[in-house]
Chain A
Amino acid sequence: MRDKLDIEATSRTPAVIFDFAGNHLKISGESYPEDVTEFYRPVFDALDEYLGGLGQGSCRFDFELIYLNSSSAKAVMMLMDKLEAAAANGASVDIHWLYDKEDDTMQELGEEFGEDLESAKFHLEKMSV
């Protein structure tokens, strides 16, 4: 299994830093890709592979998104679903949703995602910028 996935941010896509060895996954920045499927496919694939081998282990996923368009919201929901499924299967999963305190839309979106999680632990936090 690979140790990490490291995708640099662009003006339209977030930075993705999955430190699989350290069980710390993070996605940060802005997300409004030209082709949302093309951007997120390798992210989903890497996450599936990692979660498939996680078992009863623990992991932390940080969402530090400034802005995401509506098609990216769907992709984020799919990431949440994968994390929730791993947690339901016995993994200890902590999801941190960090939002800019100046933008309550992103706070609300975080709350909406959090409401659907039962097994994964959800933490809603202000960004410390």
Chain B
Amino acid sequence: MLAGQLMDLRSMLHKQGVIFAYSGYVTEPVLSGVGEALKQKLTIDDADTKTLRSVFAIFVEQMQNIIRYSAEMQLAPPPPASDAGALKEIRYGILTIGREGVDYIVCAGNLVRQTDVERLRERLSKIRDMNKDELKALYKEKLRADPEEGSKGAGLGFMEIARRATQPIEFDFVEVDADYTFFALKATI
């Protein structure tokens, strides 16, 4: 029973070509640890330098999106004074890295608030439909601009993902309840 259940979960991931899967609360040390293992795996696969850096770069942006923006979160106890920079909450998300033929795939999903869905969809559609030159121009513009309201980074993450990907980004939304929607983003390298 126990082994059967876990093996089923593993088989399901395996069938989808998934090499790495993380579902749970994501913290920066999780990003560091999974990132190191990912680099090792890509090196073993003999991925070329550009592919290795692109898969890794997209992984970092996807993980940091969950850490900063997932709407599913729990408050953490106050950090010790020595670690004042620590986040006051931990956020839940799922991230997988896998293969489809010769391509690498990095997928991430997390809950977002219903009220943020349209804005997110609009931003991502715009980025998805841009060619490399348009993306470059928008990236430069955003690099110079002040971060948007509610942004905790430079607001460049989705563009970085789209620029590093070899195919247009894909995204999707599934409504969960009146307040939340599950958001998924896929990048192909």
Contacts of B157 in A (CB 8 A): 70
Residues A69 and B136 in contact, CB atoms below 8 Å apart: no
Residues B48 and A102 in contact, CB atoms below 8 Å apart: yes
Task: Tell me which of A12, A74, A100, A108 contacts B156 (CB under 8 A).
Answer: A74
Residue of A nearest to B159 (CB): A70
Q: Is B164 an interface residue (CB 8 A)?
A: yes
Q: Which of B27-59 contact A (CB under 8 A)?
A: 28, 32, 36, 48-50, 53-54, 56-57
Residues A103 and B50 in contact, CB atoms below 8 Å apart: yes
Q: Is A73 an interface residue (CB 8 A)?
A: yes
Contacts of A112 in B (CB 8 A): 136, 139-140, 143
Residues A73 and B143 in contact, CB atoms below 8 Å apart: yes
Residues A11 and B85 in contact, CB atoms below 8 Å apart: no
Q: Is A34 an interface residue (CB 8 A)?
A: yes
Residues B140 and A71 in contact, CB atoms below 8 Å apart: no
Residue of B nearest to A11 (CB): B32
Complex CA–CA separation, A106 to B49 (angstroms) = 12
Task: Using A11-B32, A103-B53 as known contacts, say yes or no to A70 and B61 having CB atoms under 8 A apart.
Answer: yes
Contacts of B139 in A (CB 8 A): 112
Q: Is B64 an interface residue (CB 8 A)?
A: yes
Task: Tell me which of B48, B85, B140, B153 contacts A70 (CB under 8 A).
Answer: B153
> What's the nearest-Cβ distance from chain A to residue B5, in Å?
35
Residues B50 and A102 in contact, CB atoms below 8 Å apart: yes
Contacts of A67 in B (CB 8 A): 53, 56-57
Complex CA–CA separation, A66 to B50 (angstroms) = 11
Q: Which of A52-72 contact B (CB under 8 A)?
A: 66-67, 69-71
Q: Is B160 an interface residue (CB 8 A)?
A: yes
A-B contact count (CB 8 A): 59
> What's the nearest-Cβ distance from chain B to residue A96, in Å?
20
Task: Tell me which of B140, B143, B159, B164 contacts A105 (CB under 8 A).
Answer: B164
Q: Is A7 an interface residue (CB 8 A)?
A: no
Q: Is A45 an interface residue (CB 8 A)?
A: no
Interface centre among A12, A70, A105 (most CB of B within 10 A): A70
Taken residue by residue from 88 to 114, chain A's Cβ proximity to chain B (1 for < 8 Å, 0 otherwise) reads as 000000000000101111101000100
Interface on B for A, CB 8 Å cutoff? Answer: 28, 32, 36, 48-50, 53-54, 56-57, 60-61, 64, 85, 136, 139-140, 143-144, 153-154, 156-157, 159-160, 163-164
A-B contact pairs, 21 of them (CB 8 A): A11-B32, A32-B60, A34-B28, A34-B85, A35-B85, A67-B57, A69-B57, A69-B60, A69-B61, A70-B153, A70-B159, A71-B64, A71-B153, A71-B154, A74-B153, A74-B154, A77-B144, A103-B53, A105-B50, A105-B57, A105-B163
Q: Which A-B residue pairs are the 10 nearest by beta carbons?
A: A102-B49, A70-B156, A74-B154, A34-B28, A70-B160, A71-B153, A35-B85, A71-B154, A70-B157, A69-B60
